[in-house]
Structure 1
């Protein structure tokens, strides 16, 4: 009898252990499921604010690009905003995903995301690009225009140029750069003077014949016409057009002013040896192109202002972001703002003209 009772208790204990184990598994399964729903489950475009103006639109785009890499699917509803097929849309997302990953750091603001979309899809239909931007609340139709090559540019831009690597000798101060653009660029190729083209061909022939005296004389003719033969890293030479660029919206101390050398050194540090993207708005009285300059995706004027290497040139540019970046440097007392009363470059130039 006692043995039977002990056997009964053991079986009851084993049964209770099994019940407790399955109860534990059931509870943990529900807990994990709840946590997955709250923290790990992929969000939809709406969860990221797709179609709304602001940073949420950037998050929605990033989320959809991540999803596309996972399942090769474009977001539902996009077709209502664009005219191209699903196949074409998949091609856009493939390009955008690759561009997004290569951008360091990745876009964080609507302006940065808009710029990436426009640059990546610049050869596609304008309606599709605008529709895609509108889908994510990134469209800025009041500041986007289309130039003759089909590339969207900010309003007021006359043309865009992609430069060859910048030579350190081409930077005289903190707000001016001399750049060269290859004549293989479609815009440049149509306007190279005939005598310059002929001189370039004759120079190449002279060099092949080792007649370097003639070759140098021909190169000087090319230089006098505003062009130059530029040697690339692969030792290939290209004919390039010369442009002098005045950085739009800032005024750095002149070389002989306090902090002038430091301002020039900072600009050299940013652009030396780099290819630049220049958006040209016009010319100043010295026949320099006035433009916004981007180096590796970074706005050069912003870098110069935040480092305290330039003033916001309010007489010619009223952009609020430039004023904000100058104020940030002033507050930190960095660069030229380490001085309690730095002299304004435009006043220094005026006094010099007047002999003061």
Structure 2
């Protein structure tokens, strides 16, 4: 797998692990192909066993699964996943997840944050998705409390997705 770069890749989304993680088959300009796990940059979605976890996964699958996506790598995380911006069709996956209330904003990139804050704020105001709950628990707090396995005690479908 090539090192993280800012050059965009064209990838086919093969599998959606949860609301912010996918597996894709990417190809280089030279024609070589490889399969890679991708963590969507700038968001953190509910864990699968958490309220709205499956709904978040379903929303992302409807947007991206079995479709070509434009993937712009940003880095690699401690689990070896590519952290990338993901555009499925004409839609930015992070923006779509935030706007529908299926993820929390999770970025240090100030320019990107400025563009995404209004989307999360709108979802909160409309009480969309996870914001319909009285006190939604952020996934980083959920992982701290329950770990990567969640409250069921069973390993998640993508247990490496916990940060």
Matched, 1:175 2:23: no
Distance 1:310 1:290 in 2: 16
- Which of 122, 131, 134 is matched with 1:328 structurally? 122
Cα deviation, 1:24-69, whole Å, max 9, x if unaligned, reads xxxxxxxxxxxxxxxxxxxxxxxxxxxxxxxxxxxxxxxxxxxxxx
Matched, 1:283 2:76: yes
Moved over 4 A (4+): none
TM-superposed deviation, 1:305: 0.5
Contact in 2 for aligned 1:159/1:281 (Cα 8 Å): no
- Which of 294, 302, 308 is matched with 2:95 structurally? 302
Contact in 2 for aligned 1:280/1:291 (Cα 8 Å): yes
Matched, 1:160 2:8: yes
Query: Aligned to 1:301, what secondary structure does the other structure show?
Result: helix
Write the mapping of 1:81-92 to structure 2, written as runs, cut at 5 A: none
| CA distance 1:290–1:188, shift in 2 (3 Å) | farther
Q: Which residue of 1 aligns with 2:66?
A: 273
Structure 1 gap segments, 5+ residues each: 1-155, 190-239
TM-score normalised by the chain length of structure 1: 0.38
TM-superposed deviation, 1:242: 0.9
TM-superposed deviation, 1:297: 2.1
| CA distance 1:161–1:322, shift in 2 (3 Å) | same
TM-superposed deviation, 1:256: 0.3
Distance 1:277 1:309 in 2: 21
Distance 1:187 1:175 in 2: 28
Write the mapping of 1:176-215 to structure 2, written as runs, cut at 5 A: 176-182=21-27, 185-187=28-30, 189=32
How many corresponding residue pairs?
145
TM-score normalised by the chain length of structure 2: 0.81
Cα deviation, 1:276-306, whole Å, max 9, x if unaligned, reads 0000011011111111111112211111100
Between Structure 1 and Structure 2, the one with more strand by share is 2
Distance 1:321 1:187 in 2: 33
Matched, 1:350 2:144: yes
TM-superposed deviation, 1:176: 0.2
Distance 1:305 1:157 in 2: 25
Contact in 2 for aligned 1:307/1:334 (Cα 8 Å): yes
Structure 2 gap segments, 5+ residues each: 152-163
Between Structure 1 and Structure 2, the one with more helix by share is 1
| CA distance 1:249–1:187, shift in 2 (3 Å) | farther
TM-superposed deviation, 1:317: 4.1
TM-superposed deviation, 1:188: 5.7
Contact in 2 for aligned 1:158/1:281 (Cα 8 Å): yes
Distance 1:280 1:306 in 2: 22
Higher relative contact order (CA 8 A, sep 6+): 2
